[in-house]
A and B are shown apart, each in its own frame.
Chain A
Amino acid sequence: RKEVEQDPGPFNVPEGATVAFNCTYSNSASQSFFWYRQDCRKEPKLLMSVYSSGNEDGRFTAQLNRASQYISLLIRDSKLSDSATYLCVVNMEGPGGGNKLTFGTGTQLKVEL
Chain B
Amino acid sequence: DAEITQSPRHKITETGRQVTLACHQTWNHNNMFWYRQDLGHGLRLIHYSYGVQDTNKGEVSDGYSVSRSNTEDLPLTLESAASSQTSVYFCASSESISGTIDTQYFGPGTRLTVL
Residues of A that sit less than 8 Å from B by CB: 32, 34, 41-46, 49, 87, 91, 93-106
B31 contacts chain A at the CB level, 8 A cutoff: yes
A59 to B96, CA, bound (A): 29
> Are B106 and A45 in contact (CB-based, < 8 A)?
yes
Given contacts A46-B103, A106-B42, contact A95 B96 (CB under 8 A): no
How many residues on the B side are at the interface (Cβ–Cβ under 8 A)?
27
> Are B42 and A87 in contact (CB-based, < 8 A)?
yes
> Are A44 and B90 in contact (CB-based, < 8 A)?
yes
A98 to B48, CA, bound (A): 10
> Are B101 and A91 in contact (CB-based, < 8 A)?
yes
Q: List, in ascending order, chain A residues with CB within 8 A of B40's CB.
A: 105
Q: Which of A32, A99, A104 contacts B96 (CB 8 A)?
A: A99
Q: Which of A46, A95, A104 contacts B42 (CB 8 A)?
A: A104
B98 contacts chain A at the CB level, 8 A cutoff: yes
> Are B50 and A97 in contact (CB-based, < 8 A)?
yes
Across the A-B interface, the 10 shortest Cβ-Cβ residue pairs = A43-B106, A105-B42, A97-B98, A103-B43, A96-B50, A98-B50, A98-B96, A32-B101, A103-B42, A99-B102
Question: Chain B nearest CB: distance from A83 CB in Å?
Answer: 18
14 pairs, A vs B, C-beta closer than 8 Å: A34-B103, A43-B109, A45-B106, A49-B101, A49-B103, A91-B101, A93-B98, A94-B48, A95-B56, A96-B56, A98-B50, A99-B31, A103-B43, A104-B42
